[in-house]
Amino acid sequence: MVKLGQKAKIIKRPNNSESGKNAKIEKQGYICALTKHLVTIMYTKDGHDTYKESINVADIIDNHIQLQVKVNKEWNVVSSKDFEILMRNV
């Protein structure tokens, strides 16, 4: 389940990556806003908020971007089912 304030990790694979299929961008932060269509992640550095990024829920469902949330000290991949539950509750 996706919740406000939850630690989150975004994993992107660049489309035009010259470095091969293993190239990826990984960033950590926390969920600062949730809507039916967007998840907003606030990224931190040294305990201070640095910037935020809004991610379209459709990109996560279509696996263009992978969203992981930390639950009980483990990183769990967010699936389309998690967003179905979220949409019913919003």
Q: What is the pLDDT of residues 48-90, one digit of tens each?
A: 999 999 999 999 888 889 999 999 999 999 988 887 776 676 6
- The helix/strand/coil state of 46 is coil
**pTM higher than 0.75:** yes
Q: Which residues contact 16 (CB under 8 A, 6 or more apart)?
A: none
Q: How is the chain split among helix, strand and coil, in percent rounded to 5?
A: 15, 50, 35
